[in-house]
Amino acid sequence: MAALAHTATIETATAGADSPTFEATVSVNAGSAQTIEVAGSSAQTFSQLIIAMNSQITGALTSIVGGDLRVTSNTTGVASSIDIVDVDLFSSMSVGGGAGTILAAVAGTGVTYFQNFAVNGGGTQSISIIGDDAQTFSQLIDALDANITGASVSLTTGDEIRIVSDSTGIGSSIDILTGVGVGSPEIFVSMSDFSALETPIDGVDATSYEALIDLGNGDRLVNIIGNQAQTFADLIDEINSQITSGFIASTPGGDLQITAGNNTVTVTDVLGTGSPETPLFASLTGFVPPFIPLNTGEGSHQIVPPFRDDAWVQLETIKKELIDARDKNSGTI
């Protein structure tokens, strides 16, 4: 049997203390202060501290840049800002044998781009756009469209920006002014993958289309301006306003049909008096000649004689009775 040389004792355990919590506030883009609370035991490395901070900050990101801890706003431009107020989070850090310090914040910056336009030969329209507001084609088009008067901006199927005057005719024009009198940098030449500004296409007078329509009472010249009849409905309205004694309508089959009561309708395409001179119906998309007359026959009618047959018989009977009576009285006719 072995005997114990000494008596062993267990000392009373000392309760563990809670890890202290360190605090700071961060305001992003001049917003309200966001409180950051980090337990010391959960942030013994920079990586752990970054994870703890990022989980509590909205609108900004914490990272290590050049050995420094950096908090950066998710937005750019002059409205972008970070404001840190330390309670004891950063001052309690041991960095290179000393406490952590907060450097002065670097304000966000943005580049403003300029472009001058002239619409329909009018005065110069100066437009400025902050680069951060136009990071996509859609954003750039919206910004241009909101600032140009008398024109609209769109994106073509070939991913080209097109600016079109709201008016038509030879007085319609778009000029993108570069160089002289324009701020720097300019909008279009600063775009990624910019090639060159294409030569503007000036507006031209709308085409005048004409036809002769005879409703049985002589030819009537119908003149349609192309931009006034871009749909069948518009075309029908325009023609009806000029042929007062007839009527044109669209058939269920998609054809145009002109009616004029019982009269024969004759349609003849002619060269217009405008420039360029263009026939009306032959210029329609899908037109297949010739014109087909549909109502050349006589209208439905009924001939009504002056007397019915039985009335005529009665009249003859009366006449004979009168003659017989006269003969009886005079003996002669």
Q: Looking at per-residue confidence, does 29 or 299 come out higher?
A: 29
Q: Is the dihedral of CA 41, 44, 48, 54 positive or negative?
A: positive
Cβ atoms of residues 81 and 29 within 8 Å? yes
pLDDT for position 31: 93
CB atoms within 10 A of CB 193: 5
Which stretches of the chain are DSSP H helices?
A: 46-54, 137-147, 232-240, 309-330
Query: Mean pLDDT of all residues in the chain?
Result: 77
Structure tokens belonging to residue 71: 């908090």
Mean pLDDT of 190-214: 82
CB 229 within 8 A of CB 241: no
> How far from 15 is each of 12, 18, CA to CA, in Å?
10, 10
The predicted-structure confidence for 1-48, as pLDDT tens digits, reads as follows: 233 333 333 444 445 455 789 999 999 999 999 999 999 888 888 899
What the block records as the tokens of 215 is: 């409703």
Q: Where do the domains of the chain lie?
A: 21-99, 112-190, 206-323
Residue 203: per-residue pLDDT = 81
Q: How far apart are CA 252 and CA 193, in angstroms?
A: 50
- pLDDT, tens digit, 9 for 90 and up, residues 109-132: 778 899 999 999 899 999 988 888
Q: Higher model confidence: residue 268 or residue 142?
A: 142
Q: What percent of the chain has pLDDT over 90?
A: 22
With a CB cutoff of 8 Å and minimum separation 6, the contacts of 58 are 28, 34
